[in-house]
Amino acid sequence: MTADSPAMPASGDVPTLVVRDSNGRQLLCFLEELIPLDGHDYALLTPVDTPVCLVRIAADDDEEDELIEELDAAESILSVADVVLQEHDLTLVRSAVTLTVSGELEEPDPDELEDELADEDDGEESGEESGEESDLYEMLIQFRVEEQDYGLYIPLDPFFVVARLNGSEAVLVEGEEFDKVQARIEKELEEREQGG
């Protein structure tokens, strides 16, 4: 894939687009749906690379794991994650919207996931909140920085990105614009599902 033609798919492949955020970071995505609204074309996209999130792992059971959202302040932690991922022939990418990992990841076996979920359901009737949190993510790696454990987690639910097509560019829809179009895009997608 060349930088000149990110939206040129090979025959039979899903088209891809490079999305840019307000900070100039990029994310290569598959085009899932195109939704025209108010004279603009909006695209529902999924990242080509695997999205991950950085989590500070609690030292004991009384605390909860903490999702780290301010990634600019966590660069020293991410640089350790870089080294650990390289040992597995993976690369951490500081993309628009989310961190991503590129490289060959082992896909989780759907049967194993179902068995794990069933086991957790049997054992955690009362502790629903903690069970729900862990069901949404799968740990990719765990590592230690200055006596603190961290992990990179893969969301198990599909990770969607909304972008506005602006000529040959895809611009990430953020903030107020996202708030204005989110419900309308969801409604359009529901209508398409019911109609198709």
Sign of the torsion angle spanned by Cα atoms 23, 24, 30, 31: positive
| pTM reported for the whole predicted model | 0.74
* DSSP H helices in the chain: 75-86, 110-123, 128-135, 175-195
| Residue 73 DSSP class | G
pLDDT in tens, 10-69: 445 779 999 998 888 999 999 999 999 888 999 999 999 999 999 999 988 888 999 998
Task: Match 């799968």 to its residue by tokens.
Answer: 138
Compute the average pLDDT of residues 80-103: 93
Show Cβ contacts of residue 33 under 8 Å, excluding neighbours closer than 6 positions: 43, 44, 189, 192
Q: Where are the domains of the chain?
A: 16-48+158-195, 50-155
Q: How far apart are CA 47 and CA 51, in angstroms?
A: 7
Higher-pLDDT residue of 171 and 2 is 171
Contact call for residues 17 and 43 (beta carbons, < 8 A): yes
* Residue range 182-196: mean pLDDT, rounded: 85
Evaluated on CA atoms 87, 89, 95, 98, the torsion sign reads negative
- Residue in the block written with tokens 């599902």: 193
What average pLDDT does this structure show over 112-129?
A: 48
* Between 122 and 86, the higher pLDDT residue: 86
Q: Is the pLDDT of residue 121 over 60?
A: no
Q: What are the structure tokens assigned to 8, written together?
A: 């040129």
Per residue in 136-185, pLDDT (tens digit) is: 889 999 999 999 999 999 999 889 999 999 877 899 998 898 899 888 98
pLDDT computed for residue 107 by the predictor: 60
